[in-house]
Amino acid sequence: MSFVKSKILDQLANSYPHFLRQDLEKALNLVLNEIIKTIAKGKNVEIRGFGSFKIKQLKSRIGRNPKDGSRVEIPAKQSVHWKMSKEFFQKLNQDTGYNE
């Protein structure tokens, strides 16, 4: 089961009933859009206690077409790499007893 943007908005609306839902939606969209714009500019984004987003350069390579097995040139592109914070990691693994 996925936790999607609409569910985040529902949780915010339930947690903060004195705010209008449309205002919470605008705030959520503003935060997400700023993250996207900053990453698109090639800058890193760090959210303390959550993680960091960085641009990763993927090299061009030769791949295979799964339909007929022919070789296909896959161009270089950019991808986003996310690394969770230590706090996030510890909360995620607190029941397993795993310590970094």
Q: Are residues 49 and 37 in the same domain?
A: no
Cross-strand bridge partners of residue 52: 46, 83
Q: Are residues 29 and 19 in the same domain?
A: yes
Q: In what order do the strands lie in the sheet with 45-47?
A: 45-47, 51-58, 77-84
Domain termination site, one of 10, 27, 42 = 42
Q: Estimate the crossing angle of helix 21-40 against helix 5-15, to 10 degrees.
A: 130
pLDDT per residue over 42-89, tens digit each?
999 999 999 999 999 999 999 999 999 999 999 999 999 999 999 999
Domain of 37 in residue numbering reads as: 1-42
Mean pLDDT for the stretch of residues 20-45: 95
Domain tally, the chain: 2
pLDDT interval class at 23 (50, 70, 90): very high
* Per-residue pLDDT, 28: 95
Mean pLDDT for the stretch of residues 94-99: 70
Mean pLDDT for the stretch of residues 24-32: 96
Q: Which of 31, 27, 30 is nearest to 19 (CA)?
A: 27
